[in-house]
Amino acid sequence: MGKPTGFLEYERKNARAEAPLERIKHFNEFHVPLTKAEQEKQGARCMDCGVPFCQAGAMISGMMSGCPLQNMIPEWNDLLYLGNWEEAYYRLAKTSNFPEFTGRVCPGLCEIACTCNLNGDPVGGKSNELAIIENAYRMGYAHARPPKVRTGKKVAVVGSGPAGLAAADQLNRRGHSVTVYERDDRVGGLLMYGIPNMKLEKQYIDRKINIMKEEGVQFITNCNVGVDVKADQLLKEYDKVILCGGAKNPRDIKVPGRDAKGIYFAVDFLKATTKSLLDSDFKDGKFISAKGKNVLVIGGGDTGNDCVGTSIRLGAASVTQLEMMPKAPDDRLPSNPWPEWPRVCKTDYGQEEAIAKFGHDPRIYQTTVQEFIKDKNGCVKQARIVRLESKKDEKTGRMAMVPVEGSEFVVDVELVLIAAGFLGSQDYVTKAFGVNVDGRTNVATEPGKHLTNIPNVFTAGDMHSGQSLVVRAIRDGRDAAREVDEALMGYTNL
């Protein structure tokens, strides 16, 4: 695939990012796409490797390697190299419902597993994917295609995040009548309110949702299933129900002073920011202001990074980010070979912006909060931080991060954002439907299946598997749709 010698002739070229001190002035996406000619050269770099790990989507050493959607990446790289952009879109659309989303927010599992990555720079599969879908919209290839025949079957999807949208899209294509219920005021779930606008502009979500509406999918917003609509009602009205409510329970930090004012979960901070931006360009004031404040972000993952970038855009005086684990190595260790996911230090956009703005990396490794200190009004004013070290637990034999005695220090802080991850589904939904949950509060099913203990009730996405990637949620939604289709029709061609 691609040009046989392309990976030798052409260097990897990425979309140019706006300078950090410029892009923090706005909440828009900040990458400038390559020209068509340049993008075709990137497609030419696909090296006809014989075994395309990029599309494997396999678990290796407990981590995903390659695209979970099994996107036919070498095929559309080759078509891109040949200048056949329309056919490249059709090949991409065979396995991917939302390349306009994954092309922006996916960590690029395909690139990590690319054979070129063994001894050089991987093929830019993610940027090629985004270029293909955006060209398809410009040229009119990505238009609505309503099903020609309807089956008469009705399916309700609860939750409009990536898993719910993928399941709805697949089942609608099959000819079933699909209604998606969303408790927020806008469709998109995690995509809409969990990911900041500078990573995924919401116009691209709306564009795809409008196409899905043209194709026959119905969306009902501001409807909290389990509260506004009873589970029994959905089970009577629809042949099948798919629960795609996500992993919505944020992990808390239970230390003295946690009840101080000015401490928020990251998801609430990010949602309020995006909603105010979309509703009024911040004129309504209905967001959590970071202006002039010393901000403490607890958590080092993608959500923590998003909090760093958002706080800077909102005018934070300083940003400190705590990470419990030690700093990862800058390069792969021999114990972490290709094509495993590389356990290396990643400096993301938010941290880049903090370095440019404040002159240093905001992350402090091997630390956690020991206590929040309040002022006379009950507002957080300081945080007592303690350093951690790895020690073996004598009872369990496992390694654990434990406080280092005498290592405490205090930082001034007026805004704390807890980005420590999420723990499974919300019980008012699972109890409403009577579905079983596992020890991590994920909705329980048989391994590899999506049917719950309740007849006609299925589940998918983070609600099913726990907090994960957008691309994996899409795959789980597609798999659930296939299972539902087979249950409805006795066979499936999804």
pLDDT in tens, 8-42: 999 999 999 999 999 999 999 999 999 999 999 99
Residue where a domain terminates, one of 418, 439, 455 = 418
Q: What is the pLDDT of residue 50?
A: 86
For residues 133 and 181, state if they share a domain: no
Q: What is the pLDDT of residue 118?
A: 87
Percent of the chain residues past pLDDT 70, beyond the cut? 100
User: ∠ CA 138-191-80 to the nearest 5 degrees?
Assistant: 35
The contacts of residue 276 (CB under 8 Å, 6+ apart) are 282, 284, 285, 286, 287
Residue where a domain terminates, one of 139, 163, 193 = 139
For residues 16 and 131, state if they share a domain: yes
Q: State the sign of the Cα–Cα–Cα–Cα dihedral 267, 270, 276, 278.
A: negative
Would you say residue 305 has pLDDT above 70?
yes
Q: What is the pLDDT of residue 65?
A: 92
Structural domain of residue 364, as residue ranges?
263-418
Q: How far apart are CA 178 and CA 288, in angstroms?
A: 36
For residues 441 and 414, state if they share a domain: no
Would you say residue 442 has pLDDT above 70?
yes
pLDDT band at 209 (very low <50, low <70, confident <90, very high): very high
Q: How far apart are CA 8 and CA 5, in angstroms?
A: 5
Q: Is residue 114 part of a domain?
A: yes
In this structure, are residues 370 and 255 in contact, taking their beta carbons and an 8 Å threshold? Answer: yes
User: ∠ CA 11-13-17 to the nearest 5 degrees?
Assistant: 155
For residues 54 and 186, state if they share a domain: no
Q: Is residue 322 part of a domain?
A: yes
Q: Is residue 1 part of a domain?
A: no
For residues 293 and 398, state if they share a domain: yes
pTM of this prediction?
A: 0.96
The whole-number average pLDDT for the span 249-269 is 96
Would you say residue 422 has pLDDT above 70?
yes
Q: Is residue 91 part of a domain?
A: yes
Amino acid identity, position 311: S
Q: What is the pLDDT of residue 248?
A: 87
Classify burial at 434, counting beta carbons within 10 Å of its beta carbon; exposed 0-12, middle 13-18, buried 19 or more.
Answer: exposed
For residues 269 and 406, state if they share a domain: yes
pLDDT tens-place string over residues 366-404? 999 999 999 999 999 999 999 999 998 888 888 899 999
For residues 28 and 50, state if they share a domain: yes
Rounded mean pLDDT of the chain? 96
Q: How far apart are CA 330 and CA 387, in angstroms?
A: 22
For residues 184 and 158, state if they share a domain: yes
Residue where a domain terminates, one of 105, 139, 173 = 139
Q: What is the pLDDT of residue 1?
A: 65
> 347 forms bridges with which residues in the sheet?
none
For residues 130 and 168, state if they share a domain: no
Q: What is the pLDDT of residue 397?
A: 84
The whole-number average pLDDT for the span 198-209 is 98
Number of domains in the chain: 3
Would you say residue 323 has pLDDT above 70?
yes
Would you say residue 95 has pLDDT above 70?
yes
Would you say residue 2 has pLDDT above 80?
no
pLDDT tens-place string over residues 166-185? 999 999 999 999 999 999 99
3-class DSSP state for residue 276?
helix
For residues 294 and 357, state if they share a domain: yes
Q: What is the pLDDT of residue 445?
A: 97
Q: What is the pLDDT of residue 179?
A: 98
Rg of the chain in Å (alpha carbons): 23
The whole-number average pLDDT for the span 246-267 is 95
Q: Is residue 255 part of a domain?
A: no
pLDDT band at 3 (very low <50, low <70, confident <90, very high): confident
Q: Is residue 379 part of a domain?
A: yes
Q: Is residue 253 part of a domain?
A: no
In this structure, are residues 189 and 164 in contact, taking their beta carbons and an 8 Å threshold? Answer: yes
For residues 215 and 342, state if they share a domain: no
Peptide bond into 33 cis (omega under 30): no
Q: State the sign of the Cα–Cα–Cα–Cα dihedral 474, 476, 482, 485.
A: negative
In this structure, are residues 463 and 443 in contact, taking their beta carbons and an 8 Å threshold? Answer: yes
Q: Is residue 165 part of a domain?
A: yes
Domain with 102 in it: what CATH number?
Answer: 1.10.1060.10
The whole-number average pLDDT for the span 182-189 is 98
Q: What is the pLDDT of residue 452?
A: 98
**E strands along 421-478, which residues?**
457-459
Q: How many CB atoms lie within 10 A of CB 179?
A: 17
The contacts of residue 116 (CB under 8 Å, 6+ apart) are 7, 45, 47, 49, 122, 123
Q: What is the pLDDT of residue 392?
A: 87
Q: What is the pLDDT of residue 343?
A: 93
Domain with 287 in it: what CATH number?
Answer: 3.50.50.60
Q: Take residue 164 and report the two structure tokens written for it.
A: 């719910």
Would you say residue 139 has pLDDT above 90?
yes
In this structure, are residues 10 and 123 in contact, taking their beta carbons and an 8 Å threshold? Answer: no
For residues 374 and 437, state if they share a domain: no
The whole-number average pLDDT for the span 444-457 is 97
